[in-house]
Amino acid sequence: MKKLLLLVIASLALFSCEGPMGPQGPQGVPGEGMFWKYYIYTVRSQDWKLATTEDGLNTYYWYEFQNEDITDDLYLNGDVRAYLVLSPGTQDEVMTPLPYPIHRGGTDENGEPILWDETYTYDFMPGSVAFYVQYSDFAQQQPEDMVFRVILNN
């Protein structure tokens, strides 16, 4: 039985079919194709908006950009990804995906160590994308100028 199987496999390998290629098949149904687009957004320090409660807790900074390419269809069926651009315009420029938490440390006016986290996030809805900066100690410290990259994919 093994010899018969080996003979069949050897004959198929030695006598494979070759010949002219057949005619091309009919054209398929036209599709919309894949949509890729990206945007670079810069938020200037003075443009960040402060959101807080009356007691000063739960503070964060935010800024929203209008974008008509974020359609209802993209919102429901596509993907929107955002990145924080660190050291923009320098040879050390890198992009890091959001959300991006970073741990910080420094000293207060008495030389005592202070620790906090900064978290950069985003959200989107049809027609806009918004960026957020929040400090774990809820400090009301205006964020620096920041550059973001947003990629739309549908």
Distance CA 36, CA 52 (A): 36
| Confidence class for position 17, pLDDT limits 50, 70, 90 | low
Q: What Å distances lie between residue 58 and 53, 61, 81, 143, 147, CA to CA?
A: 6, 10, 25, 16, 24
What are the tens digits of pLDDT across the range 100-148?
999 988 888 899 998 889 999 999 999 999 999 999 887 788 999 999 9
Residue 56 pLDDT greater than 80, yes or no:
no
Give kind and range of the element (H or E) at residue 74.
Answer: helix 72-77
Please tell me the least confidently modeled range out of 5-14, 95-104, 141-150. Answer: 5-14
What is the number of H-type helices and E-type strands within the chain?
Answer: 2, 9
Paired residues of 63 in beta bridges? 131
Residue 94 pLDDT greater than 80, yes or no:
yes
User: pTM for the complete prediction?
Assistant: 0.74
Average pLDDT of the residues in 51-64: 88
What are the tens digits of pLDDT across the range 20-54?
777 887 876 666 667 789 999 999 999 999 998 88
